[in-house]
Amino acid sequence: MRIAVVTGPGAVELREASAPSCGPRQVLVEVRGCGLCTLDRRLFSGEQPIYPVAAGHEPAGRVIELGEAVRDLPGAPALGDLVTVDMRTRCGICHACRRGRSAICLAPQGRPGPAGVISIAGGLADVIAVDLDHAWSIGDVPLEHAVMGEPVACVAHSLRRGGFLPGDRVAVVGGGFMGRLHMTMARAVGAVTVGVIDVSETRRAEAEAAGATWAATPEDARSVGGENDVVFVTAGAPGSLELALDLTAKGGSVALYGAFPDELSVGIHPNHMHHAETSIIGVHSHEPEDWRVAAGLIASGAISKDLDDLVTARYALSEVAEAFELAASTPVYRVIVGG
C-alpha cells in the first residue's frame, strides 16, 4: 500500500509499505479521504521539524475487514460502512486518563513506524488499522463530512469544556476553519446569537453568509457584539485573550481552543475573575464522548450545508504534494486528500 511521508520542510513523498493486519479487536479501513490540519501544515512548513513523519489524523473511509472478536457486535460498524476515525492514542493508565481526562493523555502521540518513519496517526495512507472503539459509523453522508469527524469532535469537546448551554450568547475569536466549526456547532445546539471576530474582511463576510449573527474586527467587536456568555478563542494571537475577556459577560467563560505563541504571557487582574466569576478554560483535543456527539451530529445532516462550505479543495493521494503546497501557502478551510 501507499503512505505519505513528510521528509523535510516542503517535501512529501509517497512510499510503499506493508498493509496493516487486522487485530482481533480492530477494523481495517480503506481510507477514502483525510483532512490536512494545522499540525500537518506545520510539519510541511518546517515549523515542527519532525522527520520523516507519517501524518494525517483526520481520516475516513470504508470498513474492509473486522477482527474476529468484534464481528457482528450490536451497534458496531459492518463491512462496507463509512466510518470517521479517531486516531488519538489514549493509554488508559496515566494519571490524566484515570481521571477521565484522556484528551490530555500523557502518552506520546508519535510512535515508531516502518523504516525509521515516525507515525503521528498516519492517516494519509491507503489502509489503516484501528481499534473498533476508534471507528464511528457515520451513515450515508458525503465522504467530506465524514473526514471532518475529528475537528467536529474537537469542537464538541470545546463546547463541553467551555460550559456552553442552549440559549447562550456566543462569540468566536478567529474565523478560520475551527472558528467556523465553532460557529456552526454553537448554532446547531442552541446558541441564541453567535458572532465571529476576524481581521480578514473576507472571513467576516463568509461567516455572515454562513449564518453568523454578527461579524466584526477585533477593534469593533465589543461595540458590535456586546457581552457574551461563552467566548471561544480559536486564533491564539497576541491580544486575543484580553479581547475575549472584554467580550465576556459576568458569570461567563473563555475557552482557549487555539494555541498561543510559546513566548506570550498575559497579565490578568485577579479581581476580574473574582468579582465577575469569570472562567478561563483550556481546551485540547477530544474524548470518546465528544466523538459520539460528532458522529451523531454529522450523520443527522443538521450541519451538512456548513460542512460543504468548508471544503476548500480535494486531491487524490497521488497528488498529496500539491495538496500540502496549497494548504501551507494559501488561506484555506479544509484541504482533503485521498482516493
pLDDT digits (tens, 9 = 90+) for 279-313: 999 999 999 999 999 999 999 999 999 999 999 99
Task: Report if residue 189 sits inside a domain.
Answer: yes
**pLDDT tens for residues 249-259?**
999 999 999 99
pTM to 2 decimal places: 0.97
Residue 302 lies in a domain: no
* 72-76, 122-126, 216-220, 273-277: least confident range: 72-76
Q: Please report whether residue 305 resides in a domain.
A: no
pLDDT level of residue 108 (50, 70, 90 thresholds): confident
Q: Are β-strands 111-112 and 118-119 bridged in parallel, bridged antiparallel, or unpaired?
A: antiparallel
Spatial distance between the Cα atoms of 166 and 191, rounded to a whole number of angstroms: 5
Query: Which sign does the torsion angle of CA 219, 223, 227, 230 carry?
Result: negative
Instruction: Based on the fold, state whether residues 173 and 144 are members of the same structural domain.
Output: no
Angle of the 177-188 helix axis to the 201-209 helix axis, nearest 10: 20
Q: Taking 90 as the threshold, does the pLDDT of residue 110 lie above it? A: no
Are 6 and 144 contained in the same domain? yes
Average pLDDT over residues 188-196: 98
**Cα distances (angstroms) measured from residue 49 to each of 7, 10, 42, 46, 178:** 9, 11, 8, 5, 24
Domain endpoint, select from 262, 282, 302: 282
From the list 229, 252, 257, 278, the residue with the least C-alpha distance to 173 is: 257
Instruction: Give residue 246's identity as a one-letter amino acid code.
Output: D
Stretch 251-269: mean pLDDT: 94
Tell me the three cell numbers of residue 300: 443527522
The whole-number pLDDT of residue 62 equals 98
Q: Are residues 137 and 177 in the same domain?
A: no
- Domain residues for the domain of 231 are 155-282
Is residue 303 included in any domain, yes or no? Answer: no
pLDDT at position 113 is: 78
* Nearest-angstrom CA–CA distance, 211 and 302: 14
User: What is the spatial distance between Cα 187 and Cα 138, in angstroms, rounded to a whole number?
Assistant: 21
Task: Answer whether 258's CB lies under 8 Å from 197's CB.
Answer: no
8 Å CB contact between 230 and 244: no
Whether residues 258 and 320 share a domain: the answer is no
Asked if residue 259 and residue 185 are part of one domain, the reply reads yes
| Residue 47 reports pLDDT greater than 90 | yes
* Residues of the chain above pLDDT 90, percent: 93
My answer on whether 115 and 190 are in the same domain is: no
Tally of domains within the chain? 2
Q: How far apart are the first and last CA of the chain?
A: 12
The whole-chain average pLDDT of the chain stands at 96
Cα–Cα distance for residue pair 50/175, rounded to 1 Å: 28
